[in-house]
Amino acid sequence: MVDAAIKGDLLVDALLPQLEATSASATIRTSLTAKFYYYLCISNASSRRFFLGTLTGLVAARPLAAQTPARASAAATTWDLAWLDEFKGKHKQVFDLGSFGLAEDSPLRLPNNYLNMFRDVYHLDPPDVNVAVGIARTAFPLNASDALWEKYKIGEHWKIKGTDGKPAARNIYLGAESGGPGSSMRALVGRGVVFWQCNIAIMGISNQFAEQTGEPLEKVRAEVVKGLNPWVKVVPAHSMAVGLVQERGFTYMRP
């Protein structure tokens, strides 16, 4: 199945004109999907080995209280997903941003609204209310550090503009260092929101960045993992994590 999908530059080329015809929004999402997610060139044996090494070479995350990311470990052969069992709130919701196009809007107002309404209506705050935000390919810039934004021109390639109308050179979603109120990444993390990043998407994005810069794929992939924001949890697959949190009582929303 993977080989069939990846050999599929021809298939993508054949389908792209039809998909692009639907709307401007669909055009953005289709383009980003083709470039940064399905661009997994693993049709040869060596690339397959690298892909499998990536899957086993990352430890997903530590418990929620630690608020530290998964990082590559050459010795790791399993995924530590114990943090999924740390959600103890009565009310739990996952926001699936797997295909959300950041060029259109910021999705962070949605988890912010969710938390605010439980606070105002039911007088409940975390840990009685839990929120997870799942990210794969098109919303990857949310999880990327300023260093990744600058080196790989994320604002330009994802068509995200700063306040000056030019492609953003840094992560415009981070917010103030102090966190504070509002719908920034730091503010939401300060309220207990967990952000995860799909490892399969990391592979596709790393492939594209490697072609963009001419650097070795292994080096780029390591930089991407290291360059995630410090609270990000890396999961084996976005689709898997969405299912696992629902098994633990989360309701589901896809903006």
pLDDT attached to residue 104 = 78
| CB neighbourhood size of 65 (10 A) | 10
Residue 45 has pLDDT above 70, yes or no: no
**What is the average per-residue pLDDT within 199-206?**
97
Residues 81-115: tens digit of each pLDDT = 999 999 999 999 999 998 898 987 899 999 999 99
Residue 18 has pLDDT above 80, yes or no: no
Under 8 Å CB-to-CB from 222, ≥6 apart: which residues? 72
Residues 131-149: tens digit of each pLDDT = 999 999 999 999 999 999 9
C-alpha dist (Å) from residue 55 to 25, 51, 221, 252: 31, 6, 12, 26
pLDDT attached to residue 28 = 45
SS3 category, 212: helix
Residue 54 has pLDDT above 90, yes or no: no
- Residue 243 pLDDT level (bands cut at 50, 70, 90): very high
Sign for the CA dihedral angle at 227, 47, 53, 197 comes to positive
| CB neighbourhood size of 163 (10 A) | 7
Laid out side by side, the sheet with 233-235 consists of 233-235, 194-198, 129-135, 91-96, 251-253
Task: Identify the structural domains of the chain with CATH numbers, from first to last.
Answer: 2-253 (3.40.1260.10)
**What is the average per-residue pLDDT within 162-170?**
94
Backbone angles phi, psi at 108, to 5 degrees: -70, -20
- Residue 224 pLDDT level (bands cut at 50, 70, 90): very high
Residue 75 has pLDDT above 80, yes or no: no
Residue 236 has pLDDT above 90, yes or no: yes
Contact 96, 242 (CB under 8 A): yes
DSSP alpha helix (H) spans, the chain: 2-6, 9-20, 24-36, 45-56, 109-122, 146-151, 154-157, 185-190, 199-213, 217-226, 238-247
